[in-house]
Amino acid sequence: MEALTHLSDIIIPILIFYVVGYGMVSGVKVYETFLKGAKDGLRVVVDILPTLIGLMMAVGVLRASGFFELLGTLLQPLTNVLRVPSQIIPLLIVKMFSSSAATGLVLDIFKNMGPDSYVGMITSLLMSCTETIFYTMSVYFLAAKVTKTRYTLTGALLSTLVGTVMSILLAANIVK
């Protein structure tokens, strides 16, 4: 086990030296290529920054206004029939837009319900079984200049639904 710990400590430096060495042997101007890549990366950041700010602001406004709590309360009859805790509804919605805002909701759920509770287990599983759909689509498609998304949203929503159902089923089996 200690060998794996030591290997994990040196794997990144070895990889960096390998890439630099291979580039030098291949005749690539490694430093200039690195600088060009860094400049291109900064351009991408500048291009996607307005989208990021818009998404973060929208989620922040909805969270601060109490909209998510209201939505959870309104959907509580449906969630009771499905035996799904209403506390995860805001988390499901926010997670599709912003993982950092969802983390704030997770901390609230853990503080109020406990991380080892049924709701806490579902929350933990949801965070690892679902993705920030709209953030990912807007940021990465914008950066890659993808204009034809075809079935991406449908597939992403379907995979989020499957992840949600499996999170609930797994949490029910864990808590038993």
Contacts of 148 (CB under 8 A, 6+ apart): none
Q: Is the pLDDT of residue 5 over 70?
A: yes
Contact 59, 102 (CB under 8 A): no
Q: Compute the mean pLDDT over every residue in the chain, rounded to the nearest whole number.
A: 86
User: How many distinct structural domains can be found in the chain?
Assistant: 1
> Tens of pLDDT along 64-92?
898 888 888 888 888 888 888 888 888 88
pTM of the full structure: 0.66
Contact 47, 143 (CB under 8 A): yes
CA distance 93 to 111: 20
Query: What gap in Å lies between CA 87 and CA 115, rounded to an integer?
Result: 13
Residues 41-71 pLDDT 10s: 898 888 878 877 887 788 778 878 988 888 8
For residue 33, give the 3-state DSSP assignment: helix
Residue 27: domain span: 2-175
